[in-house]
Amino acid sequence: MPYVNIKVTREGTAPGASATTPEQKAALIQGVSDLLFEVMGKPRHMTFVVIDEVELENWGVGGLPTAEFRRRQSGTPG
């Protein structure tokens, strides 16, 4: 009876995409459900998967919103 919640930033990671694609979501759902079956024998029909896409400005790391964090990480000088 597993419940899995996957949170990712809302942005494109596939060619031409500006958000997670339906195909990527389906792959995550299948992959996680397979994993729980293989590792723990959990039947797939008892596994719920919920994907949340979070706006970049709503996700922080390193004390900064994600976009600003990445800008500084890329280290472009003034």
Residues that bind its own copies (CB under 8 A): 1-9, 13-14, 20, 22, 24-36, 38-42, 44-54, 57-66, 68
Nearest distance from residue 64's CB to its own copies, in Å? 6
Nearer to its own copies by Cβ, of 39 and 78: the residue is: 39
Q: What is the CA radius of gyration of the chain?
A: 16
CB-based contacts of 61, cutoff 8 Å, min separation 6: 69
The identity of residue 69, as a single letter, is: F
Nearest distance from residue 53's CB to its own copies, in Å? 8
φ/ψ (deg, to 5) at 6: -110, 120
Nearer to its own copies by Cβ, of 69 and 76: the residue is: 69
